[in-house]
Chains A and B, each alone.
Chain A
Amino acid sequence: MKPSLFEYSAPSSVAEAIEALSGDPGAMILAGGQSLVPAMNLRLASPTRLVDLRNVSGLGETVIEDGIIRVGAMVRHRDIELNDAVHQANPLIREAMKYVAHVPIRNRGTVVGSLCHADAAAEMPLVLLVTGGSVTAEGPGGRRDIAAADFFQFHMTTTRAADELIVHANIPGLPKGAGYAFEEFSRRHGDYAIAAVAVIVQRGSDGTVDAASVGACGVGSKPVRLSAVEEAITGTKMSADDIKTAAQSSQDYVSAPDDMHATTAYRRHLLVNLVRRALSSAEQTPAS
């Protein structure tokens, strides 16, 4: 199918983009188009105007400053995946990126676009949540930072105002020596996750877990932190038993109803196993 009619703007500055958005309540931002264009082709979305970010200057940069990776709105998934400095600062990103669609889609789709699209099963929102990152929004009233925990509201819904543009995402690097893992289950390679789990653990010199950040996507209407798992694993030395017990406590976080991919009971089973696997593989990363 083909998209319905729309007006088109390709502004050259963030200010002009915000103006175009404010002037038309049915306007939508076009970044890589890898979620919006299929929705338009299927007529699930019919924006009255597209505000294309491709000519806006300054949105294509990735900067690492004070341990934070700042990813501009037009930085493609594939750019981040192949960026070695990003990988050094936060190896969890490349690990998660492997599961995002396929290379031709990652070549066009953007990290910020994926955060704004906020699919409940998407990988990048989960990475932003477990790393404690944020996005920077700019609107007619100026800029504000929105923490990941406040940004994602519901499947495909965020706290971004309609006349705001997300100028960049701020993804913290991992603490030095932290163990990390990303585990996902999907029906086919490149599909959205039926469930996925991300883990970051910081351990003392004797192997005791000082802090843990564990989250999941695909199990509810937005990515969630599994705080019961974090509490259960903190203070342990991550023995196989500790990991098993902690993983077991993830079950209650499944809120997704039965759907065509999986039943709730199956997702619980999946989540427990993915948490167990992710903790075990994060345990292997040497603490230093």
Chain B
Amino acid sequence: MKPRKHSIPQSSADPKVMVRMTINGEEVEREVSVRMLLSDFIRHEIGLTGTHVGCEHGICGACTVMIDGRSGRSCLTFAVQADGADIRTIESVAGEDGELHPIQQAFQECHALQCGYCTPGMIMNVLSHFEAEEDLDLTDTGIRELLSGNLCRCTGYANIVKAVRQAAELTGRT
């Protein structure tokens, strides 16, 4: 039998678009598929793999980054929607010399991570609350509410709650 011949299309039917944004203070520009998610843009185009992808439908929070100063799900945002935006990922949080941010330090000291898969999203979410001009509710209920959009399958949350409180003490945040 003769093998059937498939013709290779001239080009992919996937529409492309040029996007420009700032990631962790650096300007980046790439031509990408319009359907590329911001999470994939950050991980596969830019090569920053600290932003994790768990569920890809908004439930787990592992992909949380800062978009123009506010936390957001990078899996529920197309890269093209972030055209012109200022993005911050977990890679921007520690100092250049590797010195941990107080929130990271508190997570480490309180054993607030085990496998660490959820941690970048947790930290970006907590950081956005710490940086916003809002009063923090540092009761257990308040902290749990603040963390409610981030799932952790390992720790059982108790140490994460502790870490947020300790981070607030370290940074003088109330």
Contact = CB atoms under 8 A, between A and B. Distances in A.
Interface of A: 1-8, 10, 30, 33-34, 37-38, 41-42, 50, 52, 54, 78, 101-105, 107-108, 188-190
Contacts of B125: 103-104
Contact of B73 (A3, A52, A108): A108
A10 B125 CA distance: 29
Nearest to A8: B34
Interface in B123-159: 125, 128-129, 144-146, 148-149
Contacts of B13: 5
Contact of A103 (B40, B56, B149): B149
28 contacts: A2-B40, A5-B14, A6-B15, A7-B34, A8-B34, A8-B80, A10-B80, A30-B78, A30-B81, A33-B77, A33-B81, A34-B76, A37-B76, A37-B77, A38-B56, A38-B58, A38-B76, A41-B37, A41-B76, A52-B80, A52-B81, A102-B148, A104-B61, A104-B149, A107-B67, A108-B73, A188-B148, A190-B149
A103 B129 CA distance: 9
Interface of B: 13-15, 17, 34-35, 37, 40, 56-58, 61, 64, 67, 70-73, 75-78, 80-81, 125, 128-129, 144-146, 148-149
Main secondary structure of the interface of B (DSSP, over half): mixed
Contacts of A54: 81
Instruction: List the 3 closest pairs (A to B, CB-CB), nearest first.
Output: A102-B149, A38-B57, A8-B34
Given A1-B56, A41-B57, A108 B77 contact: yes
Contacts of A7: 15, 34
B78 A37 contact: yes
Task: Give the one of B17, B58, B78 with max A CB within 10 A.
Answer: B58
